[in-house]
Amino acid sequence: MSLRVATDIGGTFTDLVFFDEDATATGLAKALTRPGDLAQGVLDTITLANLSTDAFRYFIHGCTVVINAITERKGVKTALVTTSGFRDVLEIGRGNRPDLYNMRFEKPRPFVPRHLRFEVEERVDQHGTVLKPLRMEDVEEVVRRCRDAQVQAIAVCYLHAYANPDHELRTAQHLRRQLPRVAVTVSSDVTREWREYERSTTAVLNAYVQPIAEAYLDNLERAVSTRGDLQPHVMQSNGGTTTFALAKRRPIQLIESGPVAGVIGAAAVGRLVGEPNVISLDIGGTTAKCSLVEASTPKVTTEYKLFQTRTFPGYPVKVPVVDIVEIGAGGGSIARFDPSGALQVGPVSAGADPGPASYGRGGTEPTVTDAMLLTNVLNPDYFLGGRLRLDRDQAHGAMAKIARGLGISVEAAAVSVVRLVNANMINALKLVSVQRGHDPRDFVLVASGGGGPMHVAALAQELGVKAAIVPNYPGCFSAWGMLMTEPRIDLIRTQLRRTAEVTLHEVEGVFAEMAREILAQYAADRVAAADVRFVRSLDARYHGQDHTVPVALDGALADVDRIAELFHAAHKKAYTFDLPDTPVEVVNYRLTGYHLARRPDLRKIERRPGDPPLKGRRVVDFGDAGVAEAIVLERDTLPAGFQRSGPAIVEEASSTTVVPPGGWFEVDEWGQLHIRLEREP
């Protein structure tokens, strides 16, 4: 046996999906997540799947250790070293009040208290020129004070270090020599973009979690690398993977380790079926996550802000993160009336415990899952493959509150709850598509998570996408997605120049230097240069603007004017106009290096003549699409090429797919369901 194994830690379950490279067999396992010992939950799935770690050829892991340590503020005692005069940048932040009318607003609290923020005499300007040399006496003082305070990690962030990191590197070198047991992060190693507050927070958060991530990954590596030659990989927020060794240096890149894998999975599904443009939708118990994939490439941004809400500024993390919009809408979302008497669904969730009322575990609030049960979409005897019997009476009792408030029947109230939660999801889907200049008619919607397949048909109809696809293993889709990823390294450099003043030689020079750095990082992982594929892009803007537009550079640049041409087109697409007479400025150079690793071949399913067995019939309320009797099918019994028009319900252990009246679906050769719908009038 030769196995490719992916494990993904979620809030409730830890999932494992594997491929046997010799037999193209696949399998999966689900174990409860162990909040106190996450690695043990991973080992549980390996045991459950009955796998021997000796057979592992490739192991990839999606983890929550970084985000958990930050969320629970359980990182290590961390210090920050700054340019003299700028000790408080971390705490001042951007000073904004998104909660406009709240006169008791509270700013984000810094992760390093003031007495552990130290100033060092040094100064570099925006071109990287040294204005004041680094004063080593000050660094020595930092060593003394960090030692006294028993600091476990130190972040160093100097002004304009993106332009010249020399002072940061020399500071770090000295700190590491004098304090060998302290983890040291320099801002320019984590991000080479401008904006000092954003870079400081990123460096601080990296330092804050580094010792914890290191211990966790070491522990897991020991457990899975039993043969000694396995190089385990971990999923990064940029949608690619990296080795445990590199992840330990920049653990902040794991911040969204798990959720992005679902997006990569959706892109892989799109590639498989010849649809390069995909919107991925992952609906879990508490949230729905949407992301857009264009030309088989997920959107990666460095505008990520941890914990940001409409009323809270959050913490900027300037590392590449797949652009995901997440909203509080899922199976556990609670329906209730707000103080003005309007019905709201979410963002409060009943979670997994006590869970929806129909779980019969003490939940009394009506949730989306309860509504799906009352409309007959869900089969109470086949939830989680029958492992959890849903209680219709409990759901009915909880939903009665909503029905009374609206003065309608319980069943009608359930339909209202579904309509509202769908409306919230539509707004999120539009945010990633229409609001960013994309026409949904060019996209397919790939739905995963336990809830995705239930909602996807209604959402696809309103959004007006080409089709909806329900992939295999929708309930373990992130783990499946990880098996489709490849190692990836992103580098970004801020270097502000007008296109009219820069030569092609200079542009190529910056990219060449970045390429050398990526290859050096890969070389440490024994990856040959010939196996690395590069993708280049620039962030550019009109002189006078601040926000940039990404410009993809496909192939070689014939001349430097081509950059401006590509920018004008990209700006027009994003914002409806261009300004051909305004100078164009290049702000950031972006280079991504993919290691062209082998992706697994997916197993095709049988094509059998005749209809699969009918599992049953039931009357389902499809909301806007009306009430109708639907046929019920078991997903595992559907052969390739099978087609059927709605109304239909396709059941499987981890999810339920809804095909409303007026829609139809087809099973492709890999067993994926394609749902098509009539256009809106």
Residues that bind another protein (CB under 8 A): 85-89, 91-107, 113-115, 125-126, 159-160, 162, 194-198, 310-311, 339-344, 406-408, 412-413, 416, 419-420, 423-424, 427, 430-431, 435, 496, 542, 544-547, 574-577, 579, 582, 680
Q: DSSP string spanning 241-285?
A: EEEHHHHHH-GGGGTTHHHHHHHHHHHHHHHHHT---EEEEEE-S
Instruction: Report in angstroms how near the CB of residue 373 gets to another protein at its nearest.
Output: 19
Count of C-beta atoms within a 10 Å radius of residue 447: 29
Instruction: Report in angstroms how near the CB of residue 679 gets to another protein at its nearest.
Output: 13
Instruction: Report in angstroms how near the CB of residue 408 gets to another protein at its nearest.
Output: 4
Residue 231 or 427: the one with the smaller Cβ distance to another protein is 427
Instruction: Report in angstroms how near the CB of residue 233 gets to another protein at its nearest.
Output: 34
Where are any strands of DSSP class E within 270-408?
Answer: 278-283, 288-294, 297-298, 300-301, 305-306, 315-316, 321-322, 325-327, 333-337, 343-349
Residue 396 or 488: the one with the smaller Cβ distance to another protein is 396
Residue 160 or 289: the one with the smaller Cβ distance to another protein is 160
Residue 158 or 443: the one with the smaller Cβ distance to another protein is 158
CA distance 84 to 371: 59
- Residue 43 dihedral angles phi and psi, to the nearest 5°: -65, -35
Residue 8 or 323: the one with the smaller Cβ distance to another protein is 323
Q: Which residue from 542, 558, 552 is spatially nearest to 591, judged by alpha carbons?
A: 552
Instruction: Report in angstroms how near the CB of residue 632 gets to another protein at its nearest.
Output: 27
Residue 455 or 644: the one with the smaller Cβ distance to another protein is 455
Residue 37 or 506: the one with the smaller Cβ distance to another protein is 506
Residue 79, strand partner residues: 154
Distances (CA, A) of 675 to 350, 444, 607, 620, 625: 30, 10, 19, 18, 15
Distances (CA, A) of 365 to 38, 400, 404: 30, 10, 14
Which 8-state DSSP code applies to residue 441? G
Tell me the one-letter amino acid at 398.
Answer: A
Residue 168 or 221: the one with the smaller Cβ distance to another protein is 168
Q: Which residue from 71, 73, 75, 68 is spatially nearest to 33, judged by alpha carbons?
A: 68
Instruction: Report in angstroms how near the CB of residue 428 gets to another protein at its nearest.
Output: 9
Three-state SS annotation for 657-668: EEECCCCEEEEC
CA distance from start to end of the chain:
54
CA distance 361 to 352: 10
CA distance 158 to 200: 8
Instruction: Report in angstroms how near the CB of residue 103 gets to another protein at its nearest.
Output: 5
CB 448 within 8 A of CB 626: no
Count of C-beta atoms within a 10 Å radius of residue 487: 24
Residue 342 or 520: the one with the smaller Cβ distance to another protein is 342
How, if at all, do strands 56-62 and 3-9 pair? parallel
Count of C-beta atoms within a 10 Å radius of residue 604: 12
Instruction: Report in angstroms how near the CB of residue 226 gets to another protein at its nearest.
Output: 48
Residue 97 or 533: the one with the smaller Cβ distance to another protein is 97
Residue 65 or 155: the one with the smaller Cβ distance to another protein is 155
Q: What is the CA radius of gyration of the chain?
A: 26
Instruction: Report in angstroms how near the CB of residue 186 gets to another protein at its nearest.
Output: 16
Which 8-state DSSP code applies to residue 412? H
Instruction: Report in angstroms how near the CB of residue 182 gets to another protein at its nearest.
Output: 20
Instruction: Report in angstroms how near the CB of residue 653 gets to another protein at its nearest.
Output: 32
CB 485 within 8 A of CB 12: no
Cβ neighbors of 317 (< 8 A, separation 6 or more) are: 201, 202, 205, 252, 255, 304, 305, 306
Instruction: Report in angstroms how near the CB of residue 585 gets to another protein at its nearest.
Output: 10
3-state secondary structure of 374: helix
Residue 17 or 319: the one with the smaller Cβ distance to another protein is 319
